[in-house]
């Protein structure tokens, strides 16, 4: 009995040794997989002048929001030709929106909270907006900010109320006051129209779907050009004080939607309908003038230099490449600053397919230096 027991142990022992040896041999032949290369994923872009700008992003792939996905900022002083990383340890880690008015004064948002810096990014403070009444809480829809004459302005629309509130503060301080408000319909459009060359001329106007606009501290009427069932304005640009460009949609549902582009030459008093190229899924990306207009047409950039009468494809992404994102900016998303001079502009493009398995598809920054006649990816390789 004892002998049989010892033989059994011997067999088991031999099997264990054999199995361990086999595992070691197989494991040693599996090639070591290097870590995936990290790439800068731009999320938001802002220029305080034609030369100086910032792009906020993250290193991808990072899989999910965590320490390895914290926000990073790259800085340019030559109009976006070269970029270098900023060392801002106090930057909110989940920031996804960025705006700068001067090299020292900027704002970022991580969704529900807006943060400010007045020392070129060294420190960041939470912005506390004034509250009108008990029903007006932080759950308001915040619209893109604008700068003019040393003042920064935000527009917001409290949820469930047909009201627009404009808040203002000195650019170099956080002293926010309610500068104006108006009762108006906001369900179709509420946004600041971007304007060429930051800091030049008057601030871009704020447009609402109720037919009112806010410019130079005053509310006035504007002609809402969109018509048809469920008509809405998908985007609006004001490259000059008189040239206003509106992309309209109408239709019962997204599957049966029609688009129409309108251009005004008299500050949104009257509009002319202009043609769009064959296609669909349009988005208004940028405009250097009322003649130089850039759109997204089914993930392809098209540019017109005669006010929308003729269009030319100026950027076609690779099959597994990047699709052009909708071009307007908002607190929850960012299409890019558009044109920062008469010739130089930037838009963000989101990746539409490929092997990426992260939480959100990475993006790329596209630039033009010839008024939209050509676009090319901006390579940001200095990651600090």
Kindly give the pairing relationship between strand 190-192 and strand 177-183: unpaired
What pLDDT, on the 0 to 100 scale, is given for residue 33? 59
Q: Looking at residue 68, what DSSP letter applies? A: G
| Torsional class of 299: left (φ above 0), alpha (ψ -120 to 50), beta (otherwise) | left
Q: What is the pLDDT along the chain (384 residues), one digit of tens a residue?
A: 433 333 233 333 434 433 444 444 444 455 555 665 677 888 889 998 889 999 998 887 765 555 667 889 999 999 999 999 999 989 988 888 899 999 999 999 877 788 999 999 999 999 887 765 444 444 455 666 788 778 888 887 776 677 788 889 999 999 998 888 888 765 555 666 665 544 444 567 888 777 888 887 888 888 989 998 888 888 888 888 889 999 999 988 877 889 999 999 998 999 999 989 998 889 888 999 999 999 999 889 999 999 999 999 999 887 765 666 544 333 333 556 788 888 999 988 875 544 434 445 567 889 999 999 999 999 888 887
Q: What is the pTM of this model?
A: 0.80
Pick among 1.20.58.220, 2.130.10.120, 3.90.1150.10, 3.40.50.300: CATH of 40-377: 2.130.10.120
Question: Taking Cα atoms as reference points, which of 328, 37, 25 lies closest to residue 190?
Answer: 328
Structure tokens at 53: 């700008």
Q: Using alpha carbons only, how large is the chain's radius of gyration in Å?
A: 26
Parse the chain into domains and list their residue ranges. 40-377
Q: Which two tokens mark 296?
A: 């997204």
Cβ proximity of 318 and 292 under 8 Å: no
Q: How far apart are CA 111 and CA 146, in angstroms?
A: 18
What's the rounded Cα separation, in Å, for the pair 159 and 326?
24
Q: How far is CA 35 from the centre of its chain?
A: 29
């Amino acid at each position: 009995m004892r002998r049989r027991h010892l033989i059994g142990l011997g067999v088991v022992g031999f099997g264990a040794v054999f199995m361990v040896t086999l595992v070691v041999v197989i494991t040693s032949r599996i090639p070591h997989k290097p870590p995936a290369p990290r790439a800068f994923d731009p999320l938001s872009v802002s220029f305080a002048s034609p030369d100086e700008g910032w792009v906020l992003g993250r290193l991808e792939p990072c899989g999910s929001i965590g320490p390895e996905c914290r926000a990073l900022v790259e800085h340019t002083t030559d109009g976006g030709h070269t970029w270098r990383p900023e060392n801002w340890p106090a930057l909110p880690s989940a920031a996804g929106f960025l705006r700068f008015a001067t090299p020292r004064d900027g704002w970022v948002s991580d969704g529900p909270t807006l943060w400010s810096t007045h020392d070129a990014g060294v420190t960041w403070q939470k912005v506390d907006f004034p509250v009108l009444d008990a029903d007006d809480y932080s759950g308001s829809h915040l619209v893109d900010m604008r700068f003019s004459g040393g003042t920064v302005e935000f527009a917001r629309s409290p949820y469930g109320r047909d009201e627009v509130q404009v808040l203002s503060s000195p650019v170099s301080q956080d002293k926010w006051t309610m500068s104006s408000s108006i009762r108006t319909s906001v369900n179709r459009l509420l946004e600041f129209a971007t304007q060429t060359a930051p800091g030049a001329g008057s601030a871009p106007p704020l447009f609402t779907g109720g037919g009112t606009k806010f410019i130079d501290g005053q509310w006035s009427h504007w002609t809402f050009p969109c018509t048809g069932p469920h008509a809405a304005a998908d985007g609006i640009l004001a490259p000059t004080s008189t040239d206003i460009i509106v992309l309209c949609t109408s239709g019962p549902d997204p599957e049966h939607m029609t688009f129409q582009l309108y251009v005004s030459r008299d500050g949104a008093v009257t509009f002319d309908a202009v043609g769009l190229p064959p296609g669909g899924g349009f988005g208004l990306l940028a405009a250097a003038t009322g003649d130089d207009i850039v759109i997204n047409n089914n993930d392809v950039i098209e540019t017109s230099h005669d006010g929308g009468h003729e269009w030319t494809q100026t950027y076609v992404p690779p099959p597994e490449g990047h699709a052009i994102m909708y071009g307007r900016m908002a607190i929850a998303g960012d299409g890019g600053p558009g044109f920062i001079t008469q010739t130089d502009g930037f838009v963000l493009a989101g990746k539409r397919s490929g092997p990426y398995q992260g939480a959100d598809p990475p993006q790329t920054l596209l630039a033009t230096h010839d008024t939209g006649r050509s676009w090319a990816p901006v390579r940001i390789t200095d990651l600090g």
